[in-house]
Structure 1
Amino acid sequence: MVDADQTFVIVGGGLAGAKAAETLRAEGFTGRVILICDERDHPYERPPLSKGYLLGKEERDSVFVHEPAWYAQNDIELHLGQTVVAIDREARSVRFGDDGTLVHYDKLLLVTGAEPRRLDIPGTGLAGVHHLRRLAHAERLKGVLTALGRDNGHLVIAGAGWIGLEVAAAAREYGAEVTVVEPAATPLHNVLGPELGELFAELHGEHGVRFHFGAQLTEIVGQDGVVLAARTDDGEEHPAHAVLAAIGAAPRTGLAEAAGLEMADRAHGGGIAVDEQLRTSDPDIYAAGDVASFPHGLFDTRLRVEHWANALNGGPAAARSMLGRGTAYDRVPYFFSDQYDLGMEYSGWAPPGSYDQVVVRGDAGKREFIAFWVKEGRVLAGMNVNVWDVTDPIQRMIRSGAQVDTDALADPHVPLESLAR
């Protein structure tokens, strides 16, 4: 029974946490809602950090989830720049690190997100080595790209994933020289496989990005604190005035692990193990967003999803579960990217080895097409490139699990709606 005397604490001030707080109020919860964020900025969305804001096309204020006044107006107790260092499950309290303040909770939501993986090589302490995860990172990187473009400087990016490619596109638009070092044979290999990864290599190559595949950085060379070059394990040396580490993100599980909560194994991406209603091994503690590994009935496996849509939808789902109104969380994973004149959306989950063919509808050469990852005639995932308003039928095909005629799937004259049963 939820009543006005209860206190719900949310640890993590990103999109998932802000949307969870919003949902609690929208669902009529009248108790205390305490939102604790270890950053000094109000909760914000992360996609603009590598897209519109980094490019200077969006204002800083556009990234925030709510106007600053919204929190007080909705009686959300917002603690910025505060770090929770411990959870006492027996006492049902959390402790702040700066002054040891204890805050009681009746229900606790962990939306602590993820942090960028670090390069474990010499030279990472140089001032010109960057990561991109937080608003402060984006502000700093924006200035770096501006200077590199002005001075014809070189940026070396470790990793050809989504962040690496989006920053590469931004850097080229500023006029910087860009080299991307990637251990796999194509960009986005673990997401799109070699079939579609090559398309992104060609896209960036046309815009002047140099790729160094099958290699990884071993050292960043500098002098007087300034980056001069980046070396790879095959003996190559690339000129560099700045380096971006874009080698993925790790879930921020330290707080949950110290509290003895069950963790998911690495095969499922790690993270805090939750059930289908985003409840952890402690019935009073929930987790959502990048940090949570949840059982997905549609794909019959655990997933930990690091994308914007999972935070947008997972925070509210966890809030409803905290109120006793939860349902199984089984959203089809979704993300989007913008690079140069290419816009794309991806729905589903189809890692390499999980599918037996990729079906293309449209003209991949003109980069106006939809790709479908298919196994035994069933659509596991779909990516629309410069083709719009097709996410709903793609997701219905994925959700139905029905077999489709792959010839019809490839034929642009056959309406997608007719295949999405």
Structure 2
Amino acid sequence: MSDLNAHVVIIGAGHAGGTLAALLRQYGHTGPISMIGDEPIPPYQRPPLSKAWLKGEADADSLALKPLEFYADENIDFRPNVKAVKLERAARKVKLSDGSELTYDFLVLATGARAIALPIPGADLQGVMFLRTAADAEALKTTVGPGKRLAVVGGGYIGLEVAASGRALGAEVVVLERESRLLARVANEVLSEFFRSYHAKHGVTFELGASVTGFEGEGGKITGVKLADGRVIACDAAVVGVGAHPNDELASESGLETARGVVVDLEARTSDPHVFAIGDVAHRPMPIYGRMFRMESVPNALEQAKQAACAITGRPAPTGEVPWQWSDQYDLKLQIAGYAFDVDEIVVRGDPASGKFAVFHLNGDQVQSVEAINAPPEFMMGRQLIGNRKAVNKAKLADPAVSMKEVTA
């Protein structure tokens, strides 16, 4: 079912939504395209918010996916500062926060995810921040600096990236993590200890096994973070990075199938053939692992934008990709391919002390995931091994003297 003259309405102007709008035109769609965004600026790259933007090395113009005039030139009706408030699928109509409404032939939900707020006292104090948008990054950049103390609540990748940028700006940084180690939900112990040690060398302090019970302040502004043991960690600002929740309410309220995100197929199509969902909000199939999963990454947003664009324009479905993501901290580049599902063994290749190594997660003799620190060959070949499901020789895999091209059994 495709129609190059159909009206496509895209709800969400993030990386997924912006990419889809451009791809539709690239793939020959001639019909009207409307893109609804709740921020005042056009789609932009979000990963640099916790790095380049905080350090003053990037701004809205340099991070924009396309210049603003692109949307007018391509006859894409971009509507900033507007939200979708109700979806009426029977009438194929969506109502917007400015009182207007749009009818559609195809609707694409690219509504992303929002930071999880802590339901604790003081959460509304000035200086309690998140880092999901350009506005968040700008507010944080004007707050941290020499002589300032930044508390980061959550020791995941976003928290560690913020910590690294905070140190680069000259602020004192303390990371507060509820679990007994960093990255407890997303990485193995080898990587957790490596990042803890590396950040400590750069002056970051840690409170592990520390449950945050409240924020304290004076005059409406934060002055400290209160822990369950009664201690108060003094700070000038606190960034909360404890995860994200998919913005799937519009879908669920309209009766679409949801499961920690909007359920879609490999065309990014929902249970309604006229509605798609892409990016952080989508709960999608992962054929490599034989399961469904919601991914928060730029590569996933791009892949699903391609899937939806192909389905809408009648092109053949794109080839499936091995999921991947990255994190930049100081002079470290972490590249991750795949997910550590159904893992029964871990193989470390290289010496973590050297700052160049990789951790392979195996199921039997097949690679499920690889986490590579400053090790591009291990990442690239590891990604291929995940995709082609070739068996590896574990002894060769663990030996850095053996080329990655020679590790297959």
TM band (smaller chain): over 0.9
Alignment of 1:303-322 (within 5 A): 303-322=293-312
Does residue 21 of the first structure (1) align with residue 21 of the second (2)? yes
Q: Bigger CA drift: 173-182 or 126-135? A: 173-182
Task: Look up the SS of the partner of 2:23 in the other structure.
Answer: helix
Q: 1:359 aligns to what?
A: 347
Question: 2: CA distance between counterparts of 1:98 and 1:62?
Answer: 29
* d(CA) in 1 for partners of 2:67, 2:58: 16
Q: Which residue identity lines up with residue 417 of structure 1 in the other structure?
A: K
CA distance in 2, matches of 1:5, 1:209: 55
% same residue: 37
Aligned to 2:78: 78
Q: Which one-letter code corresponds to 1:322 in the other structure?
A: I
Contact persistence 1:221–1:228 (CA under 8 A): yes
What pairs up with 1:312-351 in 2 under 5 angstroms?
312-325=302-315, 327=317, 330-350=320-340
Matched-pair contact (CA < 8 Å) for 1:288–1:311:
yes
Q: State the AA in 2 paired with 1:180.
A: V
More deviation, 312-321/127-136: 312-321
- 2: distance between equivalents of 1:357 and 1:122? 42
Give the Cα separation in 1 of the matches to 2:408 and 2:338.
14
Who is 1:43 aligned against?
Answer: 43
CA shift, 1:225, in A, is: 1.1
Q: Residue in 1 aligned with 2:375?
A: 387
Q: Deviations over 1:325-356 (max 9, x none)?
A: 353774222111111121111110015xx322
Equivalent residue in structure 2 for 1:178, among 173, 180, 188? 173
Between the aligned partners of 1:52 and 1:203, the Cα distance in structure 2 is 20
Q: For 1:214-225, what aligned pairs fall within 5 Å after superposition?
A: 214-225=209-220
Partner amino acid for 1:112? T
Is 410-419 or 206-215 further displaced after alignment?
410-419
- Residue 300 of structure 1 pairs with residue 299 of structure 2: no
| Unmatched 5+ stretches in structure 2 | none
Would you say how many aligned residue pairs link Structure 1 and Structure 2?
A: 409
- Specify whether residues 232 and 292 from structure 1 end up closer, same or farther in structure 2 by C-alpha distance, changes over 3 A only: same
List aligned pairs for 1:146-225, cutoff 5 A.
Answer: 146=145, 149=146, 152-225=147-220
State whether residues 16 and 316 of structure 1, in contact with CA within 8 Å, keep that contact through their aligned partners in structure 2: no
Counterpart in 1 of 2:12? 12
Question: Is 2:390 the partner of 1:402?
Answer: yes
The alignment partner of 2:375 has SS state of: coil
| Match status 1:414 vs 2:402 | yes
What is the distance in 1 between the residues matched to 2:129 and 2:13?
22
Offset of residue 202 of structure 1: 0.6
Shift of 1:251: 0.3
- What's the RMSD between the two structures over aligned residues? 1.6
Distance 1:103 1:59, change over 3 A: closer
Question: Any stretches of 5+ residues in structure 1 without a counterpart?
Answer: 265-269
**Contact residue 276 and residue 328 of structure 1 kept, 8 A:** no
TM-score in terms of structure 1 length: 0.94
* 1:27-78 superposed Cα distances (whole Å, 9 cap, x missing partner): 1111111111111111111001001111122343111100111111111111
- Three-state SS of the structure 2 residue aligned to 1:165 is helix
SS in 1 for 2:238: strand
List per-residue Cα deviations over 1:3-31 (Å, max 9, x = no partner): 45420111100010111111111111111
Aligned to 1:267: none
Q: How far apart, CA to CA, are the structure 1 residues paired with 2:406 and 2:23?
A: 35
Q: Which runs of structure 1 show a deviation greater than 6 angstroms over 4 or more consecutive aligned residues?
A: none
Amino acid at match of 1:280: T
Structure 1 residue 133 displacement after superposition: 0.3
Tell me which amino acid in the other structure corresponds to 1:386.
Answer: N
* Post-superposition offset of 1:197: 0.9
